[in-house]
Amino acid sequence: MPCPYLPAPPALVPTSPLAPRTYFITQVLLSGLFLYNSRMLSPDTKILTVSQLTRTIKSLLEQQVGRIWVSGEISNWSRAASGHAYFTIKDQSSQLDAVIFKGRLNRLNIKPENGLEILACGDITVYEQRGRYQIVVTDMQLKGMGALQLAYEKLKKKLKEEGLFDEKHKKPLPLLPRRIGVVTSPTGAAIRDILQVIRRRFSNVHILIYPARVQGTGAAEEIAAGIRVLDTMDVDVMIVGRGGGSLEDLWAFNEEVVVRAIHAAKTPIISAVGHEIDVTLSDFAADKRAPTPSAAAEIVVQEQEALSKQLEQKGHRLQRAMTRVIEQARHRLNRSGQHYFMENPEILLRDSRQFLDELQAMMGQLIQIRMQQAGHRLQQNTRALTLLSPKRRIQQQRQAMTALVERFRRMSGTLMIPYRNRMAPLMAQLNSMSPLAVLSRGYALIWKVPEGELIRQAEDLQVDDEITARFASGQIKARVTERIKEKEDETS
């Protein structure tokens, strides 16, 4: 379509083999001629430079497309002196420029080369200097490995969150293992390499091999079973691994059942799967990772000659240290023997005896002085106790009380005489009026029981009533058996 607000140039017919390119250049030139005609250009027309247009396209690609996965075949692979790699990803009908920088390239698990079918992840952008769009690759894997890689990352995340890869679960390897367990294929190159290294380095080590398939259906279950069996057979350390291979070949060591068996084992385990670039989930769960099976054997068994040499060196060092200690002790003993007192010990004993005698004399004097001081304090305390004795004070108080009682008796007798004289007639009069005086003349007071009512006449009582009679001296209880009428009552 023609540019907005610009008239279409007249059609040109190609007349030579170079006509298409000539036609394009001519069209651009003719369009440029029209630009000079200000009357044909709208004031609102936006004119972009090539750089502006390229940046606009780059921004659109990066925002609208962004990071993607693309599949294809590698071609034109080239690595620059800087370490960056430039290549093309193509399929049957199209191709895409690609670049991967040194840092990302060194972390790939595969070795890119021409003709390799791959899956590449990266950011779509535009290389402005050439105006060509390209993909900046951040990750790459063989085609067909995408599903396995996703499953690998998913399981890795799950087990890591459960703590199966934590360093606190790692067990130390024994220094000199007596029994080594190996879980691997009995026919693979890995077991041959392990046996060869162990025999060369330390031939008197016992090796227990649990034969297991290391790839294919059921391989993971056999590996896990081998780990569990050897864990109960008193082995000091265990090697679990196989030789190199593709991701599918090594997949048994990424299975959850194998990882959990390694984590649950009480025996230290070395994972030796594939080559150094091959990393499986078993490597994260194991107590130690070895890049190859041979390296695992070298880790678990030290060289007998090197160990013997090391022990010999330590023995020499220990002998030298003991010799130095003995020489120092002998030197101190010799110096002590040359001392004046060691040559003349009787002098030391003589002085000690004299000093002991002085101490005994001083002790006797000190004991005598202390006893005298104690006797003096005892006498002082005895005198003070005699002066402050409560027995003396009680005797004094008793004498004072006796005097007061005697004085009170005399005073009370003197004071009571006039009162007695005044009270005598009153007492006589009171006695004459007292009911007891009447009773003494033969009368009695009678009360009805239990009311306590004073009886004044016989009519107040009935037969069987209980009464209390008070005499001048004493009381009696009685029961009315009969009420006798007086003669006057009978006469009337």
Residue by residue, DSSP assigns 368-402 as HHHHHHHHHHHHHHHHHHHHT-HHHHHHHHHHHHH
**What is the Cα–Cα distance from 22 to 24, expressed in whole angstroms?**
5
pTM across the whole model: 0.42
Contact 95, 89 (CB under 8 A): yes
DSSP bridge partners of 88: 75, 97
Tokens of 260: 């959990």
Q: What per-residue confidence (pLDDT) applies to 26?
A: 34
- What CA–CA distance (Å, rounded) separates 143 from 248? 12
The full length of the chain comes to 492
Q: Which residues are paired to 79 by β-bridges?
A: 85
Nearest CA to 152 out of 69, 254, 272 is that of 254
Alpha carbons 285 and 261: distance in angstroms, whole number: 9
Looking at domain 65-144, does it have CATH number 2.40.50.140? yes
CATH match of 155-302 with 3.40.50.300:
no
Per-residue pLDDT of the chain (492 residues; tens, 9 = 90+): 433 433 343 443 344 443 344 334 334 333 444 444 445 556 778 888 999 898 999 888 888 888 899 999 999 999 999 999 999 999 989 999 999 999 999 988 788 888 888 889 999 999 988 889 999 999 988 776 556 777 788 899 999 999 999 999 999 998 888 899 999 999 988 999 999 988 888 778 899 999 999 998 899 999 999 999 999 999 999 999 998 888 788 999 999 999 999 999 999 999 999 888 888 999 999 999 999 999 998 888 875 567 778 888 888 899 999 999 998 888 888 777 666 666 666 666 776 777 888 888 899 889 999 999 998 888 888 887 777 777 777 888 888 888 888 888 888 777 777 777 788 788 877 777 777 777 777 778 888 888 878 888 888 888 888 888 888 788 888 888 888 876 654 444
Identify the bridge partners of residue 478 per DSSP, sorted by sequence position.
467
Are the C-beta atoms of 239 and 181 separated by less than 8 Å? Answer: yes
- Quote the crossing angle between the two packed helices 256-264 and 219-231, to the nearest 10°: 10
**Identity of the residue numbered 12:** L
CA nearest neighbour of 105 among 77, 76, 72:
77
Nearest alpha carbon to residue 241 among 317, 309, 174, 292: 292
Tokens of 263: 């984590």
Residue 98 forms beta bridges with which residues? Answer: 87, 135
pLDDT computed for residue 177 by the predictor:
87
pLDDT for 21 equals 40
CA dist 342 and 332 (Å) reads 13
| Per-residue confidence (pLDDT) for residue 78, from 0 to 100 | 93
Exposed/middle/buried for 402, CB within 10 Å: 0-12, 13-18, 19+?
A: exposed
Cα separation, 170 vs 172, whole angstroms: 7
**CA–centroid distance for 406 within its chain:** 93
Q: Tell me if 54 sits within 8 A of 128, measured CB to CB.
A: yes
**Please, which residues have CB within 8 angstroms of residue 154's CB and are 6 or more apart in sequence?**
none
Phi, psi of 134 (to 5 degrees): -155, 170
Residue 92 has a CB neighbour count (10 Å cut-off) of 6
Tell me if the bond preceding 450 is cis, omega within 30° of 0. yes
What is the distance of C-alpha 479 from the center of its chain?
Answer: 100
Predicted local confidence at residue 152, as pLDDT: 85
Q: Tell me which DSSP letter residue 456 carries.
A: -
The span from the CA of 242 to the CA of 271, in Å, is: 9
In the beta sheet, which residues pair with residue 124? 135
| Among 253, 259, 258, CA closest to 273 | 253
Q: What are phi and psi of 447, to 5 degrees?
A: -120, 145
Q: Which residues contact 466 (CB under 8 A, 6 or more apart)?
A: 448, 449, 450, 477, 478, 479, 480
User: In whole angstroms, what is the distance from residue 174 CA to residue 154 CA?
Assistant: 34
Return the pLDDT at 147: 64
> How far is it, in rounded angstroms, from Cα 404 to Cα 309?
116
H helix or E strand, kind and range, residue 77: strand 67-79
Residues 6+ apart with CB under 8 A from 186: 209, 211
**What's residue 183's pLDDT?**
95
